[in-house]
Amino acid sequence: MKRTVKLSFYIIIFIIFGLIGMWMPLLGDDLHWGTYFGSNYFPQGIFLKYDGRYLGDLLVITMTKFKPIAFLGYGTFMTAIVYLIQKIREQIKAPKSLGLMSSTLAAILIFLTPNVIFKQILGWHAGFANYVPSLVFPLFMLYLVLKNYDNKNIHYYRTSTYLIFFAAIFAQFFAEHLTILNVFNTILVWLFLRKHFGDQFKKVLNFILAGNLIGAFLMFINGAYLKILFGRDSYRSLKGSSNSDTMFNYLRIQFSAKHLMIVGIGILIFSIVVLIYSLKVKNVKQRIANLALLLSSFVVVAPFLVVSPFGSRCMFATYIFFVTIFAINIDILIDNYEKYLLPLLVLVTLGLGLHTDAIAHNYGKTFDMQIQYSMYQNKVSRDTQYFLQYKDTKHIWLTAPIQNDANFAELYVANRNRNMVPINYYDWTDAVRKLKGKNFSTHDAYMKAFDQQILKKVKLIQAKENK
């Protein structure tokens, strides 16, 4: 019964995250990954000088071309993170009840990810493809360490060892700062915890270290990093740039001093509390998990002190490590009350998940309508091109207003010399409602009727403005 309930929970989580990936619109460079640039990326050897995120790039190409892949990608990697957080907790101390508290807490906090981070992770396929899958291995590594700590009787089959070895290599091809973190963590474990492992896991650990180093080498021999090193890359640098700068400059420009102070003090208090609590806690595995996650939270963003560009997506790893610390420790503290609190937290998780799905679905419908309307207008002779606005941009990474989006225009606007006029979300959705229930012989007939409604809206707006 317990197994069925847990499996059902993870299947539901998988579906919820999968739908976010399938419904979220293509934004920014998503549009290029999904069209000509993505199609030529590997065949024409562009990848040799673009970056070393070979698997992340492959993932974003397939996700932007095929919606079912986006569904599978979002569902698989987000569920893996939630699942690993629960497994780490169970290695620290076996739960007294069902064992889903850490999962639900983690899922809730992921759905509540600050919008500034959310829009560049779950609201942007290219951000997701690099910054989410790369988090799986650090969590998996921590799980292995806790599982094998002072447990020298665990046997690893040759197949399992080889699979872990290849996972250690492949994990390095998503995001550079996570690649560095993996090497850092593995060396740290090898130096300070090796004596606590059995001979079998020591061999596995050696394979992990070798895999991480091989993967890091294969990533950083990419021609792009030589250009960055010698300052010949127009987008990335080791000293920062006036357009897209390093972490501190980015934070200073994007957020107010008051906001930064509040968040900074909050992070400082959280870190001190975790540090003091971890040093006092009797469970050694809990101490290792807390300190490892806390250290990783800061190490993972350390490269951005000198590397640019830095964006809010780069904070996602730190956020997830903080979430993991919080979820695991709260779970352990309220272990006796799990059977009372878990049903409530599951309902909250499902409610937030469905709400996020609804948001993604709305964005997706808008995106589809934007394309259809732009393609229709390409066949109409006039001086103005109308663009349908999103309801809001809180959860999506829109680099420019839709009427000024060069990526969108390049693919879907035939005449870019027209006047580019945005249409308010509530105006164009009202036009859609007025056509609801009416029969049209063809899709073009529907779009013509929709266009006429938009023109009426424009005349009304202009009349109001001229009064």
Q: 393-451: per-residue pLDDT in tens?
A: 999 998 889 999 989 999 999 998 999 999 999 999 999 999 998 999 999 999 999 99
Q: Residue 402 has what DSSP assignment? A: G
The Cα 318–Cα 135 span in angstroms is 10
Task: Give the model's confidence band at 241: pLDDT under 50 very low, under 70 low, under 90 confident, else very high.
Answer: low
Task: Calculate mean pLDDT across residues 364-393.
Answer: 96
The Cα 65–Cα 33 span in angstroms is 8
Reported as type and span, the H/E element at residue 209 is helix 199-220
190-193 LR contacts (CB < 8 Å, sep 24+):
193/145, 193/149, 193/288
SS3 405: coil
Q: What is the pLDDT of residue 198?
A: 95
Q: What is the pLDDT of residue 283?
A: 96
Q: For residue 233, is pLDDT > 80? A: no
The Cα 207–Cα 135 span in angstroms is 19
Q: For residue 462, is pLDDT > 90? A: no
Task: Give the model's confidence band at 180: pLDDT under 50 very low, under 70 low, under 90 confident, else very high.
Answer: very high
Q: For residue 466, is pLDDT > 90? A: no
pTM: 0.95
Q: What is the pLDDT of residue 434?
A: 93
Q: For residue 373, is pLDDT > 80? A: yes
Cis peptide leading into residue 43 (ω within 30°): no
Q: What is the pLDDT of residue 399?
A: 85
In this structure, the number of other CB atoms found within 10 A of the CB of residue 369 comes to 16
User: Which token pair is 106?
Assistant: 């983690």
Distance of CA 52 to the CA centre of its chain: 18
Q: Residue 25 has what DSSP assignment? A: P
Sequence-separated (6 or more) residues with CB below 8 Å from residue 79: 10, 13, 14, 17
Q: 95-113: per-residue pLDDT in tens?
A: 888 889 999 999 999 999 9
In this structure, the number of other CB atoms found within 10 A of the CB of residue 225 comes to 18
Sequence-separated (6 or more) residues with CB below 8 Å from residue 363: 23, 24, 25, 123, 390, 391, 395, 396
Q: What is the pLDDT of residue 18?
A: 98
User: Please, are residues 84 and 145 in contact by the beta-carbon 8 Å criterion?
Assistant: no
Site of tokens 């960055």: 228
Averaged confidence pLDDT in the chain: 94
Please report how many Cα atoms fall inside a 13 Å half-sphere around the Cα of residue 72, on the Cβ side: 9
Q: 313-365: per-residue pLDDT in tens?
A: 999 999 999 999 999 999 999 988 888 899 999 999 999 999 999 999 999 99
Residue (of 188, 210, 88, 201) closest to 140 by Cα position: 88
The Cα 296–Cα 302 span in angstroms is 10
Distance of CA 435 to the CA centre of its chain: 37
The Cα 5–Cα 434 span in angstroms is 45
Q: For residue 63, is pLDDT > 90? A: yes
Q: What is the pLDDT of residue 250?
A: 87
Strand-pair partners of 308 = 237
Q: Which of 74-83, 92-101, 160-169, 214-223 has the lowest mean pLDDT?
A: 92-101
Q: How far is CA 154 from CA 145, 190, 200, 366, 448, in A?
A: 12, 18, 7, 53, 68
Instruction: Show the CA angle centred on residue 348, arms to residues 347 and 352, nearest 5°.
Output: 120
Q: What is the pLDDT of residue 113?
A: 97
SS3 184: helix
